[in-house]
């Protein structure tokens, strides 16, 4: 399946610097990743999770395979993009394909780096981008409505539901609000997602600050934090420049460098985790002598669908899942100990997988 985050923002805000840092770090660890495919603007990034090393240590796993999310560096968004400025509408298709948006905002001053609008003002930059996406959404809604006319006349139920949702989205957009401000019921969720509205996607604001402000943030990033809170969006402060430098260091050097900068952990780790949270994702593990591996699922996923992430056959032939909670695995010092302590549960088709579960699926081939 694979979850995708699109990196968007005005030109020269640090998108590519950030993307390169993300993928360089991933490339450095590539030996561990049998499926690491990196296109020029698409990169897969390991989701940092210290639990995985602990599990592997206990089980003596030969290989550690983290779970990953995909980042896409989406260029070409400028004022007027929805009307064909810059790369025009090309970026729209790119954004439609992602599950969430990392919106990079320039919160650093640098006379050598041109700001397209001639001044540093992240709130107004955010508005420029959001406006382009809202215009694009309004246009796509109009097109969809026009296409529905015939089906509506025929009384098509799906079309009626679609029209209702399109109208709700349009009403929000016309008052200057993104489609994500519309409250959607669980029943409507699927139809809503199918509309693929750009401003319906969850947003994580990434404040790119100067090197010496990475730990503290600055006045601009504080304003962005406030805006993010009001919108119910995510928010992280990083320095793309620093992340780029860190991505070229080995682990020990990186730790020292972070200490010098007054940081506990790399901003990229925070960014990746924030993206993971924003998407409502969680992790389960499979652990054995060969490998310890993390897998990504949406919160609320049932055991058979969780198994499908490994292989479709696991879902089709699903019998049961032997389950040990992460904490029980650790306190039992492994599977045998957890079993003895009565902590290995046998769960069926209706089991909702929990974050950190160590799972073993039994299935009919």
Ligand X SMILES: Nc1nc2c(ncn2[C@@H]2O[C@H](COP(=O)(O)OP(=O)(O)O)[C@@H](O)[C@H]2O)c(=O)[nH]1
Check if the beta carbon of residue 241 is closer than 8 Å to that of residue 38: no
- Closer of 75 and 141 to Mg ion (Cβ): 75
- Closer of 16 and 131 to Mg ion (Cβ): 16
Residue from 5, 13, 95, 207 touching ligand X (CB under 6 A): that is: 13
CA distances from 192 to 199, 276, 301, 319 (A): 12, 21, 19, 33
Binding flag, residue 15, ligand X (CB under 6 A):
yes
Which run of H or E residues covers position 351? none
Cα(21)–Cα(13) distance, integer angstroms:
14
Residue from 6, 7, 16, 301 touching Mg ion (CB under 5 A): that is: 16
Residue 13's binding partner out of ligand X, Mg ion, none, with CB under 5 to 8 Å set by partner kind: ligand X
Check whether 15 is labelled as a binding-site residue. Answer: yes
Residue from 4, 17, 56, 314 touching ligand X (CB under 6 A): that is: 17
Strand-strand pairing, 234-238 and 63-65: unpaired
- Closer of 269 and 347 to ligand X (Cβ): 269
Check whether 42 is labelled as a binding-site residue. Answer: no
Cα(68)–Cα(118) distance, integer angstroms:
37
Residues between 106 and 125 that touch ligand X (CB under 6 A): 108, 110, 113
Query: Which of the stretches 32-40, 237-245, 308-316, 347-355 binds ligand X when contact is defined by CB under 6 A?
Result: 237-245
Cα(340)–Cα(88) distance, integer angstroms:
62
Query: Which of the stretches 6-14, 273-281, 312-320, 350-358 binds ligand X when contact is defined by CB under 6 A?
Result: 6-14
Binding flag, residue 240, ligand X (CB under 6 A):
yes
Check whether 208 is labelled as a binding-site residue. Answer: no
Binding flag, residue 6, ligand X (CB under 6 A):
no
Residue 103 CB partners (closer than 8 Å, separation 6+): 8, 9, 126, 129, 203, 204, 205, 206
Check whether 147 is labelled as a binding-site residue. Answer: no
Query: How would you class 188 by CB atoms within 10 Å of its CB: exposed for 0-12, middle for 13-18, buried for 19 or more?
Result: middle
Q: How far is the CB of 220 from ligand X (least distance, A)?
A: 12
Q: In what order do the strands lie in the sheet with 4-8?
A: 42-46, 68-73, 4-8, 100-107, 203-209, 234-238
- Closer of 13 and 302 to ligand X (Cβ): 13
Check whether 140 is labelled as a binding-site residue. Answer: no
Binding flag, residue 231, Mg ion (CB under 5 A):
no
Residues between 144 and 183 that touch ligand X (CB under 6 A): none
Cα(145)–Cα(66) distance, integer angstroms:
43
- In terms of Cα–Cα distance, which of 56, 101, 121 is closest to 278? 101
Residue 158's binding partner out of Mg ion, ligand X, none, with CB under 5 to 8 Å set by partner kind: none
Binding flag, residue 14, ligand X (CB under 6 A):
yes
Tell me the number of residues near ligand X by CB under 6 A.
Answer: 16
Cα(170)–Cα(197) distance, integer angstroms:
11
Check whether 16 is labelled as a binding-site residue. Answer: yes
Q: How far is the CB of 9 from Mg ion (least distance, A)?
A: 9
Cα(147)–Cα(135) distance, integer angstroms:
19
Q: Which positions lie near ligand X, rule CB under 6 A?
A: 9, 11-17, 108, 110, 113, 208, 210, 239-241
Extract the annotated binding site for ATP. Answer: 12-17
Q: Which positions lie near Mg ion, rule CB under 5 A?
A: 15-16, 75
């Amino acid at each position: 399946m694979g979850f995708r985050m699109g990196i968007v923002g005005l030109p020269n805000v640090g998108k590519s610097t950030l993307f390169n840092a993300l993928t360089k770090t991933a490339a450095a660890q590539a030996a561990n990743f049998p499926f690491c495919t990196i296109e020029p603007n698409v990169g897969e990034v390991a989701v940092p999770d210290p639990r995985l090393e602990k599990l592997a240590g206990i089980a003596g796993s030969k290989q550690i395979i983290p779970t990953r999310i995909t980042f896409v560096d989406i260029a070409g968004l400028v004022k007027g993009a929805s009307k064909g400025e810059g790369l025009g509408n090309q970026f729209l298709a790119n954004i439609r394909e992602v599950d969430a948006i990392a919106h990079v905002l320039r919160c650093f001053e640098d006379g050598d780096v041109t700001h397209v609008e001639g001044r540093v003002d992240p709130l107004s930059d955010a508005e420029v981008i959001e406006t382009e996406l809202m215009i694009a959404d309004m246009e796509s809604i109009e097109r969809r409505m026009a296409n529905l006319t015939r089906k509506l006349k025929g009384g098509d139920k799906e079309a009626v539901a679609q029209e209702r949702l399109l109208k709700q989205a349009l009403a929000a957009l016309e008052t200057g609000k993104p489609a994500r401000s519309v409250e959607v019921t669980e029943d409507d969720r699927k139809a809503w997602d199918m509309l693929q509205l750009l401003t319906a996607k969850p947003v994580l604001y990434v404040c790119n600050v100067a090197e010496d402000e990475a730990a503290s943030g600055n006045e601009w990033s504080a304003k962005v934090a406030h805006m993010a809170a009001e919108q119910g969006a995510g928010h992280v402060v990083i320095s793309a420049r620093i992340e780029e430098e860190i991505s070229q260091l080995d682990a020990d050097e990186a730790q020292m460098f972070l200490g010098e900068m007054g940081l506990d952990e790399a901003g990229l780790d925070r960014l990746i985790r924030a993206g993971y949270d924003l998407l409502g994702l969680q992790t389960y593990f499979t652990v054995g002598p060969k490998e310890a591996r993390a897998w990504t699922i949406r919160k609320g996923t049932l055991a058979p669908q969780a198994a499908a992430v490994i292989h479709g056959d696991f879902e089709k032939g699903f019998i049961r899942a032997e389950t040990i909670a992460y904490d029980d695995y650790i306190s039992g010092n492994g599977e045998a100990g957890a079993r003895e302590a009565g902590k290995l549960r046998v769960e069926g088709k209706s089991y909702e997988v929990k974050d950190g579960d160590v799972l073993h699926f039994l299935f009919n081939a």
